[in-house]
Structure 1
Amino acid sequence: MAKKVKGNRVQVVLECAEHKESGLPGTSRYITTKNKKNTTTRLELKKYNPILKKMTLHKEIK
């Protein structure tokens, strides 16, 4: 019988860095997946923030 292999993909949460510093209420968060073997560092992606109404840098949080 074959073993079940757990994948290297994990879910990560991305949170807006600019919004956090601005002091406005609310948060902009996205959930995505990443491959742990290929991407060992924390993700940083430009995503749309609907509260600030512009593209901002979203960083991976733990």
Structure 2
Amino acid sequence: MAKSKFSEYLIRMKCSECKRVNYYTRKNKKKVERKLEYKKHCKWCRKHTVHKEGKK
């Protein structure tokens, strides 16, 4: 199987309150070792909450 030339991976962003996956983003695993955390709007909670990197 051919090796991918990209070092970025698609990851899921889960709401910390309702645990739903609302966003997808890319992450360069060679440069960023910590888990991503963003404050974004959740359409189910209807407010801004912390979204954390979820499992695959």
Q: What is the TM-score of this pair, normalised by structure 1? A: 0.72
Aligned counterparts, 1:1-62, within 5 A: 6-20=5-19, 27-62=20-55
Q: What per-residue deviation string (whole Å, max 9, x for no partner) do you get for residues 18-49 of structure 1?
A: 123xxxxxx24211101111211111111110
**Seq. identity, %:** 40
Structure number with higher helix proportion: 1
Q: What is the TM-score of this pair, normalised by structure 2? A: 0.78
- In the alignment, structure 1 segments of 5+ residues that lack a partner are 21-26
The answer on whether the counterparts of 1:28 and 1:50 sit within 8 Å (CA) in structure 2 is no
> Over aligned residues, Cα RMSD in angstroms?
1.7
The answer on whether the counterparts of 1:19 and 1:28 sit within 8 Å (CA) in structure 2 is no
Aligned length: 53
Report runs of 4+ in structure 1 exceeding 6 Å deviation.
Answer: none
- In the alignment, structure 2 segments of 5+ residues that lack a partner are none
Which letter does structure 1 place at the counterpart of 2:25? T
Structure number with higher strand proportion: 2
